[in-house]
Amino acid sequence: MKIEALSIFRMNGKIEALSTFWMSFCDSNKQSGQQFLGVIIGQGTNLRDAVIRTHKIGINPGGEIISCKFDDGKVKHEHLDRLLTKAQLIEYGYIF
């Protein structure tokens, strides 16, 4: 399934700018070293919308989430809306 990146979102007749969010997922009930579930770089008008979108497209791994806004100019289109592993985040240059 191909998901296109959006720059605007229409809701209730309004046009709202989308923000890009770095969403890191973990499960604190798992053993140490197994808690990290991955990162999704996704878009929404706010964090709640971005998280709901991850559920709708079937990529949300569950668990707890910590998030921040992310400069979408630094994200390659093919990295949006995917659950990225630690190895992929290193390979793509998002973490060192």
* pLDDT single digits (tens) 28-43: 999 999 999 999 999 9
Q: Which domain holds residue 71?
A: 8-91
pLDDT value of position 16 = 76
Residue 2 inside a domain? The answer is: no
Distance spanning both ends of the chain, measured CA to CA: 29
pLDDT at 2 over 90: no
Residue 96 inside a domain? The answer is: no
pLDDT value of position 11 = 59
pLDDT value of position 62 = 95
Structure token pair of residue 81: 């809306």
> What mean pLDDT is reported for the chain?
87
pLDDT at 56 over 50: yes
pLDDT value of position 41 = 96
How many domains, in total, are found in the chain? 1
Residue 79 inside a domain? The answer is: yes
The predicted model scores a pTM of: 0.82
Residue 74 inside a domain? The answer is: yes
Across the range 14-34, mean pLDDT stands at 91
Q: How many residues does the chain have?
A: 96
Residue 40 inside a domain? The answer is: yes
Contact partners, residue 40, CB within 8 Å, separation at least 6: 23, 25, 54, 59, 60, 81, 82, 83, 84
| Sign of the alpha-carbon dihedral angle for 18, 24, 28, 29 | positive
Residue 3 inside a domain? The answer is: no
